[in-house]
Every structure is written in C-alpha cells, then in structure tokens.
Amino acid sequence: MSSGDPPPFFRHRHLLGIEGLVPPEISLILDLSEVYVEQNRRADKKQALLRGRTIINLFFEASTRTSTSFVLAGKRLGADVIEMSVSSSSIRKGETVIDTAMTLNAMHPDVLVVRHPESGAVKLLSEKVNCAVINAGDGSHEHPTQALLDALTIRRRKGRLHGLKVAICGDILHSRVARSNIHLLNIMGAQVRVVAPRTLLPRAVERLGVEVFHRMEDGIDGCDIVMMLRLQTERMQGTYFPSIREYFHFFGLDYEKLNRASADALIMHPGPMNRGVEIDSVVADDIGRSAIREQVEMGVAVRMACLDLLARSDIEHDPRNV
Amino acid sequence: MTVKSEAAMRVAYVGARLLDPASNLDNAGGLITEGEHIVDLGPHVIADGLSSDIEIVDCRGLCLAPGLVDIRVQLREPGEEHKGTLASGGRAATAGGITSMVCLPNTRPVIDDVSVVEFVARRARLLGLTKVYPYAAVTKGLDGSDLAEMGMLAEAGAVAFTDGVKAVANAKLMRQALLYARTFDLLIVEHPEEPTLAAGGAMNAGEVATRLGLVGIPREAEVIMVERDIHLVRMTGGRLHFSHLSTAAAIDAVRQAKASGLAITCDTAPPYFALNEHAVGEYRTFAKLSPPLRTEEDRMAVILGLLDGTIDAIASDHAPEDEDAKRLPFAQAAFGGIGLETLLAISLSLYHNGHLSMLDVLRLITCKPASLMGLPAGRLTKGGRADLTVFDPERPWQIREHELYSKSKNTPFDYRPVQGRVVMTVVDGRRVFTLDG
C-alpha cells in the first residue's frame, strides 16, 4: 500500500468507536498508518491527497495533544484544517451540540473531528451532519483513534496483537481509552486484564471480555503490555480512594511492581501523565521499556490514515454505514 | 319553549362486552346514561324496547369498561406550558381512555399552596376533558426541608401528598410527614430513589451503561429507599404508596411488608414491564426514564408482582419533555416519557401475552388506582358517574410519536406495534373522544 493509491474501501461513514469494527477493518487502518509513519519521518512530510478538503476540529473539551495530532495529520495530507474550541464560547451562550453541528454543517466540511465531555454526544452530532465524523473522545465512552495508535505501537514493537497479554491499569471507570482498547484488543485476539481498586471499575466490566484484578502485582503478572491510565480527577465526584499517596502505593507503576510483568513488557500511557500518581517518573522515562513517546508519534500516522479513509472513501449517504 | 340540554339526554350504549373489574362483570350487554350518570347497565339493556328519545350507540361487540384512572401524570401547567398543558394533557388522556388522572405537584409554582390546588382543579373543570385531581407536595417547594400545609391542602382538594419526582431524602422529615399525615388519614406517595446513590446517573447501572460509558443508577438506590420507608411506616403507622417500582428487590420488600400487615401499596408503569435497559440502544433519550429501565430479570419480577397482587396498580407516569430537553447528549437529556395514550395498549400486552385476564388488567388501571386515591371513579355502577371507555382489545396499531395528541412526543414506545385501541371515551356522559373523528 502506498499513500498515493486510491483509498481502500472502508464500509463505515464515520469512526465513532471501535465496538462494531471487525479485524480486517482494524488491520486496514493499521496497515495504512504504517505508510504514514514512514512519510512522517521524511523531511518532506506534506502531501496533496486531501487538497481542497476541509477538516474541522470541534473540541467541546480542552485538549492539546489529540487536537494537535489531528491538525498535523490533516495538514500533512494537504487539507484545510480549522480548529474550533467550543467549550468557552457557544456553549456559554446556550447553544447545544446540535445547533453547533448544524451551523458547521452549513459550511460544508468534509470531516468533523469531535471531542465532547458527554458519552454519546458525538454519535448524536453525527446524525445531524452530512460529512464524516471522527470521535476524538466522548465522555467515558470511546476514543477510537487512541486505541488504534496504541495497537499500532504494540504491533510495531511486538509484531502482533493476537495472543498478547495486556493489563490496563488505573481509572477504568472514567476512561474512554480503556473501553476502546478493551474492544480493539479483544477483537484482535489479545487477552485483556483490567487492574483497579473496585471503586474505579464500572459495573459488569467483566462482561466486556476482560479478566478483573484488584492487585497490581497479580494483574500485571506475566503481561506483555502494561497500559497505565490517567486518573481522571475532573470526572470524579466524591471519594474513589483515600489519598494520592495510598493510590500510588497500591496502583502506581514502579519497578518493583513492574518486575512481575514479562521481562520485555512494554509500558504505555495515553498521556498526559500524572508522574508520581499513576506512574513513577523513572519508569515512564525508561527508553528501553516505555513506548509513551512512540505512542504520540503513532497518533499522527493513525489519524492520517483515518482522515484519508473517511475523507476519500466515496460512500453513499446510507444510514447503514455508520 | 323548553330546551332539552345535552347533559340531561339519555344515551344507550348497546351491543357491548361489558367489563367491570370491581364487580367481576364480564358479559354482553348495554349501559344507559342520563346526563352525567349511569342509570342502568347489564345484559338486559338492548336496543329493542328502548324508547325512541334515547340516543343509541351501537358498540358492535367492543369492550365497554369504566374510564381508566391514572394516578401518576405530569401535566406541566402551570409553568412549563411549552411541554404540556392541562388541555393537551386532557386531550391525550381522553385519547387513551383515561377519564380521571392525578397530577404531580412539580409544576411552577409547585402545588404546595391552596391557591395552586384550586387553580388546577378549576382549569381542568373548565376544560371538561379528563378529570384532574392534584397531588400536593409533602414539603414546601419540594425542597425536602419543611412540611407543606397538608391538612389545608387536603381540604382544598389534594388527594394525596408526594414530592413528585424526588424522594423525601431526609429520614426524619419523612417520619414526621408520615406521622402528621396520619392525623388526617392522608396518603404519602414516594418516588423511591436514594438520591446520593443515584446522583449523576443516567441509566441503569450494569453492562449496558458500562459499554455506553454512562454513569449508572444502581438498582439498590430503589430498594434502599423502599426499605427505609417500610421501617418508617412501621414506626409511625402511616400510609405509604410507592410509585413506579422497577426492581425485583424493591417489589420483594413490598411483598414482605404487605404480608406483615403494613399499610403499604405500590404501582408500576408500562415501561417497567414492557421494556428493559436495552431499549436505550445507542443513546435513545426517549428511553431515559426515572427510575431507569432495568434488567430483563427486573422486568419479569415486575410482571410477577402484577400477577401476585404485590403491585396494586399501573400508572402511565406521563412525563412530557420537549425537544430541547431530549435532543441532547444522553447524560444531559431530561428524564421521562409520555404515556397517557399508550397506557391501555401496553397494559393489554399483559393480557395478550397470557399473563393476566382482561378483567385483571383493567382492575389495575381502573378500580384499584381509584380506591388507592379514594377517587369516585373506576367502576360501573347505577347512579355512578358516567365515565366510560369503549375499546377494541384486538385492534392492532403502531405507536408513532407524531400521531399522538400529547404536546410533547417523547414516548419510549415509538414504533412499537401494539394491540388494543380506545375507540371512544365518555366523561360525565359526554363523548370527549371518538377514534377517527
């Protein structure tokens, strides 16, 4: 596959989540992302594939890295990229997500990249517009491009996804990253564990096809991947654990706990990291084991692949294509 | 010249299947009204032999039953007329065969003052549609801190007391309310949901909420409040009614409390025996109800509670919400669904699915709710008010929100095929609704 070829067929009109995708679709995105990883490492990073197309980044929630990653992805494909931060303007004037969607839709964008603090809001918005919509994170629901970039990182380091033991640790309750990763890794045949205090696990999480642990030492035992999550204190109302000190003691990743994982276990974190809260700085910065920087790099490539597939695929406006 | 007023006219409804659950009547026959009252009914009322000045309505074998009695309705007037009014609610109710309804006090202003009770009663009387009886608030302003003037509100016409869509969270205040209400033999109605456990929740806590990334309301929020209140009833000797029970555990708690002789009753609403949490699908806000739709196991427990008599009545739990309140991300959307026009059809699914007899279904939506609230309604008796429903129990139709009379269209049953349709509704002898004209 090369980036100049016509885009492969992708049966979805939007990318709203990982749930519902099938293995060949995930592999397709990852394979195309590989092409863009190479392009991004060249001096001349820019192409004209999406020349004339307009991408609007619509963020109802503050974000730096995801937003920047999508902007770079769009620009490197030659699209016009507009950034809109709605959290501070229209919402305060009483405009709803639907109003915003309709307004932007009238400007004929080709892709809307949307982040919203409420689960399901991006889907609601996608029903009101004529263009493709990419979910850049909705509440505690899904963050599909994060799971895809994690998968790309893992696949490049480990050569596969199938059969790997992956521990996702920390604030599962509030994490859209965890949900998307659980779906993706399950779809691709990995064995997924979640590790958290009971207060940070949603009800019936085992029904998502994961093994549940409440002790880090047991949860990451023999794992190939240790994926740490950020504590989403902004989503927490009330007490979920007694103190940061206690949380780090039991659930923070340090070398002592990491020793239980496989000797070549890869450490991941979607960022931004709370150093000394969910992960020890020394571990986070361990070049040999930490893939955290690489995740950021893969993010741009994966988002280029997603934009390419959705902006260039000519799918009829058919409600079955979701 | 004498003018014969319509109210004094005699009308004979003949050729009907007469159904009166209060007297276990299920017979072919007819019924005669004169003015506002029923003057005769039974198998002997047939078209032949009636004097020529009687208007004859041929019911063509349709069911003729007491007008339905709905004890949990939000009408939104005064204060939120853009969502619903006494008039729009009245039209929707008559289209649903409901001839008496009890409305919640969570209006703006709150029904916690004699003048608001009188306003609602007077407006409804002037409209002449379905009869409206108001609940009044247990606490002033529904704020959960001071008791409303329950005695005077009852004198003004409040049939029972409730804080509407909120539980009385303060246990001591609930104890005082039950004790004080006992002084006047008044009924307290509770929305059983422990508020701190339910805070921030949008749907039933469980696998579906976890998949959708929504904050769940645990089923325990309901049973904890039910069990607390049962203890308070035991302590005070008060009378308490739980609204819209939705969980197996809460129904079981009520079952045991009733067996121990406490004055506790309860109802449920159609969504809780006809739908489960999967109706939320992918963030369908019309299925965002309070209490939330529960698991299939809970749904079956609700049906069992209706079968064994633990649940005393079915109420529509009509909660109109306009588009602005529902066309939002799921967590931000308002709770509630409309239900006046679908009450009979969804309730009849209990009959069509073989769970209950026709009379038993009707009992839950006529005489039982009427007797719970002490209303002069829900039965067919000579000399009684001529509040009637004529319906075809077999007629199939599909519920479509845009075809409903309700001002707001937020039905959780949109697109659902159902069986059983109201053909005519009579209030005080006047035909207030006729299907297809």
- In order of A205, B246, B250, the CA distances from B220 in angstroms are 18, 11, 8
Q: Which residue has the tokens 């609700």?
A: B302
**Whether the Cβ atoms of residue B396 and residue B365 lie closer than 8 Å to each other:** no
CA–chain centroid gap for A96, Å, is 25
pLDDT, averaged across chain B: 96
- Amino acid A233: pLDDT: 79
Q: Nearest CA to CA, how far is A146 from chain B (Å)?
A: 16
pLDDT digits (tens, 9 = 90+) for B242-276: 999 999 999 999 999 999 999 999 999 999 999 99
Cα separation of B427 and B292, whole Å? 34
Structure tokens at A199: 């207060």
Determine the average pLDDT of the residues in B288-305: 98
Q: Nearest CA to CA, how far is A271 from chain B (Å)?
A: 20
- Amino acid B1: pLDDT: 39
Q: Where are the beta strands (DSSP E) in A47-93?
A: 54-59, 80-85
CA–chain centroid gap for B435, Å, is 21
pLDDT digits (tens, 9 = 90+) for B222-237: 999 999 999 999 999 9
pLDDT digits (tens, 9 = 90+) for A261-315: 999 999 999 989 989 999 999 999 998 999 999 999 999 999 999 999 999 875 4
- Amino acid B335: pLDDT: 98
Helix, strand, or coil (residue A155): helix
pLDDT digits (tens, 9 = 90+) for B372-401: 999 999 999 999 999 999 999 999 999 999
Q: Which residues of A touch B327 (CB under 8 A)?
A: 96, 98, 124
- pLDDT at residue A4 tops 90: no
CB atoms within 10 A of CB A314: 7
A99 close contact with B: CB closer than 8 A: no
DSSP B30-99: EEEEETTEEEEEETT--STT--TTSEEEE-TT-EEEEPEEEEEE---TTT-TTT--HHHHHHHHHHTTEE
Which of A189-198, B45-54, B275-284, B333-342 is predicted with the least confidence, judged by mean pLDDT?
A: B45-54
Contact B218 A205 (CB under 8 A): no
Contact B329 A120 (CB under 8 A): yes
pLDDT, averaged across chain A: 91
Contact B327 A96 (CB under 8 A): yes
- pLDDT at residue B5 tops 90: no
- pLDDT at residue B21 tops 70: yes
Q: Which residues of B touch A140 (CB under 8 A)?
A: 213-215
Q: Which residues of A touch B206 (CB under 8 A)?
A: 203-204
Cα separation of A33 and A259, whole Å? 32
Residue A1 pLDDT class (50, 70, 90 cuts): low
- In order of B100, B191, B245, the CA distances from B120 in angstroms are 14, 22, 27
A:B CB pairs within 8 Å = 71
HSE-CB for A73 with a 13 A CA cutoff: 34
Determine the average pLDDT of the residues in B190-206: 97
CB atoms within 10 A of CB B151: 14
**Whether the Cβ atoms of residue A60 and residue A121 lie closer than 8 Å to each other:** yes
- pLDDT at residue B76 tops 90: yes
- pLDDT at residue A2 tops 70: no
- Amino acid A7: pLDDT: 66
- Amino acid B85: pLDDT: 96
Cα separation of B262 and B257, whole Å? 6
- Amino acid A45: pLDDT: 92
- Amino acid B7: pLDDT: 47
pLDDT digits (tens, 9 = 90+) for B91-110: 999 999 999 999 999 999 99
- Amino acid B437: pLDDT: 56
Helix, strand, or coil (residue B257): helix
- Amino acid A269: pLDDT: 96
The nearest alpha carbon in chain B to A177 belongs to: B213
Looking at the partner chain, which of A96, A97, A208 has a beta carbon nearest the beta carbon of B211?
Answer: A208
Determine the average pLDDT of the residues in B108-123: 95
Structure tokens at B257: 């409390």
A100 close contact with B: CB closer than 8 A: no
The nearest alpha carbon in chain A to B210 belongs to: A202
Q: Which residues of A touch B295 (CB under 8 A)?
A: none
Determine the average pLDDT of the residues in A62-85: 94
Q: Which residues of A touch B286 (CB under 8 A)?
A: none
- Amino acid A96: pLDDT: 82
- pLDDT at residue B200 tops 90: yes
Cα separation of B373 and B369, whole Å? 6
- In order of A287, B205, B209, the CA distances from A236 in angstroms are 32, 17, 17
- Closest CA relative to residue A286, chosen from A305, A320, A261, A319: A261
pLDDT digits (tens, 9 = 90+) for A152-190: 999 999 999 999 999 999 999 999 999 999 999 999 999
Contacting A residues, span 33-92, partner chain B, CB-CB under 8 Å: none
Residue A318 pLDDT class (50, 70, 90 cuts): very low
Which of A70-74, A241-245, A268-272, B417-421 is predicted with the least confidence, judged by mean pLDDT?
A: A241-245
Identify whether B21 is preceded by a cis peptide bond (ω within 30 of 0): no
Q: Which residue has the tokens 């008039």?
A: B87
A198 close contact with B: CB closer than 8 A: no
pLDDT digits (tens, 9 = 90+) for A26-66: 999 999 999 999 999 999 999 999 999 999 999 998 888 99
Collect all residues with Cβ–Cβ distance below 8 Å to B19 and sequence separation of at least 6: B25, B26, B63, B64, B65, B358, B359, B362
Catalytic site residue B317?
Answer: yes
- Amino acid B317: pLDDT: 98
Tell me which DSSP letter residue B171 carries: H
- Amino acid A9: pLDDT: 76
Residue A239 pLDDT class (50, 70, 90 cuts): confident
Helix, strand, or coil (residue B340): coil
A139 close contact with B: CB closer than 8 A: yes
Sign of CA dihedral A138, A142, A145, A150: positive
Q: Which residues of B touch A135 (CB under 8 A)?
A: none
- pTM (whole model) above 0.95: no
The share of chain B scoring above pLDDT 90, in percent, equals: 96
Looking at the partner chain, which of A116, A118, A208 has a beta carbon nearest the beta carbon of B210?
Answer: A208
Catalytic residue among B229, B267, B317, B392: B317
pLDDT digits (tens, 9 = 90+) for B151-171: 999 999 999 999 999 999 999
Q: Nearest CA to CA, how far is B330 from chain A (Å)?
A: 7
Residue B48 pLDDT class (50, 70, 90 cuts): confident
